[in-house]
Amino acid sequence: MTSPGATEPLAPLPDGAADADDTLGAPASTLAEPEVMPRRRLWQWLDAAQPALHVLPDSLRGFGERRDPATRPFEPRRGSRRALIHSATHDSLTDLPNRSLVLAWLHERTTSRTDEGALALLYIDLDRFKQVNDSHGHSSGDAVLVETARRLTDAVRSTDIVARLGGDEFVIGLTGPSATSARHLARRLLESLRTPHRIDARDIEVTASIGIAFAGPEATADSLLRDADAALYRSKGAGRNRCSTFDDDVRRAANVRSGGEADLRLALARAEIFAHYQPIFDLRSGEPVAAEALARWDHPARGLVSPTVFVPMAEESGLILPLGDAVLDVVTVALGDLDRMLDAQRTTVWINVSSHQLEDPLFARRLVARIENGGTSGRVGIEVSEHRAGRDVAARALTLVQLEAAGLLLALEDVGIGYPSLARLARNPVHTIKIDRSFVEDLSSSTTVRVVAAVVELAHSLGALTRAEGIETAEQLAQVRELGIDLVSGFLLGRPDALDRLPCSVTTARQHFAIGRTSA
């Protein structure tokens, strides 16, 4: 049954739509149902195709019947041949097609489509769904999965397919006009899926990550699923609650991951992990006062590996703790050179810290020991992402208190992304609140300006500084100055780079600040 307060169903894309920005609105009831396959032909086909299900006629999807998984479950006569077929090809919880059926659907379309026949696959994974089961119980988790299936089904045409692969993973296969609108559909799905689920008089908030793959001339069912999964991995690594499309960068990242864990272990042993530094400037004086240290991996065969690839890999493989220690070792040694390269005194260096590190009971002790041994007390700060908070809130809070007592600074980043917790701001000792680049990019909106102004006021009321990241234009620099933001960073002022190239960034930034003061 559809949950009270659930999001309105997404209107299916009307048949014939060719552009990703077409108006969406044709109700499902107006769409022509596919022709139902005669029962005898269906049985003959299944007998020939079992167990691999190598071919899938158009009409097999739901046996020609489009059903709402929340309200119209399939109920064949118990023990009938049709019931056995259905149970073998559909998920028992959501009544969606299962992995075997969607692979058969993809196989037919990758082997029989014409050059003009567009085909795309969306791979959807609910973010941190295990926490829903742990916090609310498995019955509530099942209800969320059923409601998710309904929202996905309501979003597509009857000629497309929605399937559950297992757990909290779903896929959507799109053909023709639907495929050309895949990115647009993915953005709409993100909005729909983040709407809270009303389960047993409680609102359960769940977001999703989506990977998109388009079928090339040589695509197979397995390769399309693999490519969409690789794109999904990028979405997860970039912070979740977003969509990514498979491209050459994703392919290279997937190749790295295939032997990634072993390579990363070797990289840590060989000291292939180093840091680039992005300068941070005081908006009033225009002078550099800090830098953010960003981990980099110089792979001997593949060159520079993106942190969006190796950081999630480290988290999954349990290597995030030694990786964090390696970055800290590099940074504490470089602090003296950092002052000289930024032409500043006692600059602060900020290091990104994951929830895995904060929940490690020995993390604070190791971090403080390294700082004291390096003589860098009071000059190291850690950046904690608000929307990537881990599950063990008590352990995380204890670590933060221990770090504050040792003189470390705390910056809370990504404020406003996902579902922020004001209680977290009150509970944790915050030195700086970072304003996400998505807000900076949208400062032309009066609503965004009011939101940022409210964050600035909140931060200052807590005695914290504000820092806007992602400054890329002189106009954005002027806008954040008017909003009273304290610190800024971004490509306009300096990209992340090696220490010896920072003086050029500082010179360029000072020119921009001088021009800004003159025009003001």
Residue 253 has pLDDT above 60, yes or no: yes
- Evaluate whether 369 touches 402 at the Cβ level (below 8 Å): no
Angstrom distance (rounded) from CA 416 to CA 428: 17
What is this structure's pTM?
Answer: 0.56
Dihedral in degrees, nearest 10, Cα atoms 393, 395, 399, 404: 50
Angstrom distance (rounded) from CA 118 to CA 115: 8
Per-residue confidence band for 20, with pLDDT thresholds at 50, 70 and 90: very low
Buried b (16+ CB within 10 A) or exposed e, 248-272: eebeebbebbeebbebbeebbeeeb
Average pLDDT for residues 505-515, to the nearest whole number? Answer: 90
Average pLDDT for residues 496-505, to the nearest whole number? Answer: 93
Identify the bridge partners of residue 90 per DSSP, sorted by sequence position. Answer: 97
Picking from 79, 78, 32, 77, the residue whose alpha carbon sits closest to that of residue 59 is 32
Per-residue confidence band for 428, with pLDDT thresholds at 50, 70 and 90: low
Residue 22 has pLDDT above 60, yes or no: no
Q: What end-to-end distance do the CA atoms of the chain give, in Å?
A: 59
Per-residue confidence band for 210, with pLDDT thresholds at 50, 70 and 90: very high
Average pLDDT for residues 161-178, to the nearest whole number? Answer: 89
Angstrom distance (rounded) from CA 279 to CA 508: 12
Span 287-335, pLDDT tens digits: 999 999 999 998 888 788 888 778 888 887 788 889 988 998 888 888 8
Homologous superfamily (CATH) for 34-246: Reverse transcriptase/Diguanylate cyclase domain (3.30.70.270)
Residue 419 has pLDDT above 60, yes or no: no
> Where is pLDDT greater, at 456 or 305?
456
Per-residue confidence band for 233, with pLDDT thresholds at 50, 70 and 90: confident
Q: Could you tell me the two tokens for 404?
A: 């504050």
Tell me, what's the pLDDT at 417? 47
Angstrom distance (rounded) from CA 265 to CA 283: 41
Q: For the beta carbon of residue 32, count every other beta carbon within 10 angstroms.
A: 9
Q: Residue type for 447, please?
A: T
Pairing of strands 119-126, 208-214: antiparallel
Q: What is the DSSP letter of 497?
A: B
SS3 content of the chain, % helix, strand, coil (to 5): 45, 20, 35
Angstrom distance (rounded) from CA 450 to CA 69: 41
Angstrom distance (rounded) from CA 326 to CA 210: 32
Per-residue confidence band for 427, with pLDDT thresholds at 50, 70 and 90: low
Q: Which helix (H) or strand (E) holds 266?
A: helix 260-270
Q: Which ranges of 8-114 does DSSP label H, i.e. alpha helix? A: 39-49, 81-89, 99-112
Average pLDDT for residues 89-111, to the nearest whole number? Answer: 89
Average pLDDT for residues 475-497, to the nearest whole number? Answer: 94
Average pLDDT for residues 52-67, to the nearest whole number? Answer: 40
- Evaluate whether 370 touches 329 at the Cβ level (below 8 Å): yes
As a whole-number percent, the residues of the chain with pLDDT over 70 amount to 75
Angstrom distance (rounded) from CA 478 to CA 484: 10
CA distances from 409 to 327, 377, 419 (A): 17, 10, 24
Mean pLDDT across the chain, nearest whole number?
78
> Where is pLDDT greater, at 364 or 414?
364
Average pLDDT for residues 426-449, to the nearest whole number? Answer: 83
Q: Which residues lie closer than 8 Å to 109 by C-beta, 6 or more apart?
A: 117, 119, 173, 175, 215
Angstrom distance (rounded) from CA 154 to CA 146: 12
Average pLDDT for residues 93-117, to the nearest whole number? Answer: 82
Identify the bridge partners of residue 173 per DSSP, sorted by sequence position. Answer: 121, 161
